[in-house]
Amino acid sequence: MEIFIQILINSIVSGLLLMLVAYGFSLIFRTNKVFHIAHGGVYVASVYFLIFIHSYCQNLFILHEILLWGISIILTILFVSLLALLIELLVYRPLYKKQASEIISLITSLGLYIVIVNMIALLFGNETQMINNEVKESYFISDIIITHGQQVQFLFAIICLLVLAVPVNISRIGKKLQAVADNQEIASVIGINVKKMRLIAIIIGSLLAASGALLKAYDVGIDPHMGMSITLSAVVVVILAGKNSFWTLLITAILISTIQNFTEWFLSAQWKEGITYLILIIILLFRTEGIMSYKLRIENR
Amino acid sequence: MNYFLHIVILLEIYIILALSLNMKVGFTGLLSIAQAIFYGIGAYVTAIFMVELGSPFLLAIVISIVVSVFFSLFIAFIASRLRDLYFALATMAFQIILYAIIYNWTSLTNGPYGIAGIPQPEILGVAFDNLSSFALLGFVFMVLTILFLLWFQKTPFSRLLESTRDDELAVIAMGKNPKYYKRFSVCISGALAAIAGSLYATYVTYIDPSSFTIDESILIMSIVIIGGTGNIWGPVSGALFYILLPEVLKFIDIPDSIAASLRMIIYGFVLILIIRIKPDGFFGKYVFK
């Protein structure tokens, strides 16, 4: 029984991290109409930038540890926003001007992913990098262990969701983003600046991915090729949820990570991805609109 | 000289592979990101039959084609239900699932350790055991593939495939069944990929799952997109570009550790630029919409 509760707690924490990436992906997918595989590239790049800027600042001036991390994280936020801005302006905006299809955006995004990941491998090498090397105390409730890393992840994931995702869901900008997602032409007719909304969507989406990446790397470290599998998991969440509502995505993310953790426990870690994509393929074949959404018209499938 | 022959053999394998994917992408308009798995099925079936059962090379190739065609039927089923983006996604999922099976079915495939000691091919008593003779064998297979496709392009049947790609509704209106044509092209594509896989397995004599990942599938797809789709010279030029790019990079003096990443960076840039500036690739005929 304890093991079930333990896996459930692990799943909730990793589900929250998956939710950060998935919400970002969903925002970009729906607003920019881009199948943003390069999300995984941004995911990895943010952690490497943090590690780099932290060691750089460390050599530059002598500061208190917390202040040093604070500065590094602010610089990372700026870096990720800039990266997202460049991706939108240089790569995705020309596609938007051409009214290119989703499949063209998928190919472009795959190319972009290859470029970003190999750029990181070129600069930092292929080895796993750690942010945090110390082992800290875990928290026990009878037999259930909640590690220090999980406590930090849980707390900060909720903070990031509250700061980044919830405002998008309830504010005026959120409504505008939704309008652009529904129909770009009509949105521009009623006076919404579509290009600006696309920028906002990709920047917030990338920041969400980056926060997920930093929290993940805090616990287990990072290597340049980690982005692909987490992005594909996020894709599974987005397709499975079917619509862009906060709660649907959250529940689906936790569901997917529960399934992944149970497969890992009962079969092996190598089956984890296979089972996730088996779910995806079944959903795609038999219920393309997702499990928690209304039925689509045949032309839109 | 040996190094040159190695490049030639790789080139022959990749040309067959690119042409096989072109059957799906170019002729029928199905952007599949699962070609590495059919390549892998070809390699694994050949390896298992030649190592475990000691069957001759030609029999192993035929069996690997049959197995690959059988798995292609799954892609055909996906193609009959989904289009465009969702088809690409579902094939991606198919690739990952089959990869997980190859990786985890240790009793058959020896899992991550791979299969070693695959014998060199021997046809009618002629052993292809050195590089130059293997290059010749690969050349024969490549030429046969190209000739087959040149002949196939001229048949009226290939027009039906192309019309399925261009306007499915019109095909239905003509009283034809587009699902049938999709199934056909997907199966031919799987069979050609299996031939490439068989050649690869007997050439390197050791295979493990890491050669057949989703990254490899993305790579094969980008070879076809960069070279161009819908005819024969497009995919061939894409494979030439992919294999010869690192050789060109050798003229610039850069260390090996950087060269691999640099090659992929250039490759990714070319993919992005090709899609934007010349969406039909180097010599392609069909433009992805």
State how far the Cα of B26 lies from the Cα of B234, in Å rounded to an integer. 10
In chain B, what is the straight-line distance between the N-terminal and C-terminal CA atoms, in Å?
43
Q: Is B35 within the bounds of a domain?
A: yes
**Total domain count, chain B:** 1
Smallest CA-to-CA distance from B267 within A41, A112, A174, A282 is with: A112
Per-residue confidence (pLDDT) for residue B246, from 0 to 100:
81
Q: How confident is the model at residue B36 (pLDDT cuts 50, 70, 90)?
A: very high
| A263 neighbourhood in chain B, CB within 8 Å | none
Q: Is B233 within the bounds of a domain?
A: no
Per-residue confidence (pLDDT) for residue B229, from 0 to 100:
85
Q: How far is CA B211 from CA A271, B34, B48, B236, in A?
A: 18, 13, 16, 21
Predicted ipTM > 0.85: yes
- Which residues constitute the domain of residue B144? 2-212
C-beta atoms of A102 and B84 within 8 A: yes
Output the CATH code of domain A2-126+145-300.
Answer: 1.10.3470
State which residue of chain B sits closest to A118, comparing Cα positions.
B261
Distance (Å) from the C-alpha of residue A226 to the closest C-alpha of chain B? 12
Q: Is B281 within the bounds of a domain?
A: no
| More reliable by pLDDT, B66 or A52 | B66
C-beta atoms of A270 and B103 within 8 A: yes
Distance (Å) from the C-alpha of residue B182 to the closest C-alpha of chain A? 16
State how far the Cα of A146 lies from the Cα of A154, in Å rounded to an integer. 10
Distance (Å) from the C-alpha of residue B265 to the closest C-alpha of chain A? 5
User: Would you say how long chain A is, in residues?
Assistant: 301
Q: How far is CA A55 from CA A39, A69, A72, A223, B124, in A?
A: 25, 10, 9, 17, 64
| B100 neighbourhood in chain A, CB within 8 Å | 270-271, 273-275
CB B109 within 8 A of CB B44: yes
Distance (Å) from the C-alpha of residue B96 to the closest C-alpha of chain A? 6
| B245–chain A Cβ distance below 8 A for any pair | no
Per-residue confidence (pLDDT) for residue A69, from 0 to 100:
82
Q: Is B12 within the bounds of a domain?
A: yes
C-beta atoms of A118 and B218 within 8 A: no
Smallest CA-to-CA distance from B35 within B82, B88, B108, B80 is with: B88
Q: Is the dihedral of CA B71, B73, B77, B80 positive or negative?
A: positive
Where chain A has pLDDT below 50, the residues are 298, 301
Q: Does residue B289 surpass a pLDDT of 80?
A: no
Smallest CA-to-CA distance from A25 within A158, A214, A206, A167 is with: A206
Q: For chain A, what are the domain ranges?
A: 2-126+145-300
Per-residue confidence (pLDDT) for residue A138, from 0 to 100:
67
H helices of chain A, where?
A: 2-32, 39-60, 65-86, 93-98, 102-124, 148-160, 166-170, 172-182, 184-189, 194-220, 227-241, 246-266, 271-286
CB B141 within 8 A of CB B12: yes
State which residue of chain B sits closest to A123, comparing Cα positions.
B258
Q: Is B228 within the bounds of a domain?
A: no
To test the contact with chain B by mutation, choose from A103, A126, A271 the residue with the greatest count of B C-beta atoms within 10 A, namely: A103
In sequence order, the 6+-apart residues with CB closer than 8 A to the CB of A127 are: A223
| More reliable by pLDDT, B104 or B252 | B104
Q: Is B277 within the bounds of a domain?
A: no
The residues that bridge with A27 in the sheet, in sequence order, are none
Per-residue confidence (pLDDT) for residue A301, from 0 to 100:
46
The SS3 call for residue A9 is helix
| A97 neighbourhood in chain B, CB within 8 Å | none
Per-residue confidence (pLDDT) for residue B62, from 0 to 100:
92
Q: What's the pTM?
A: 0.89
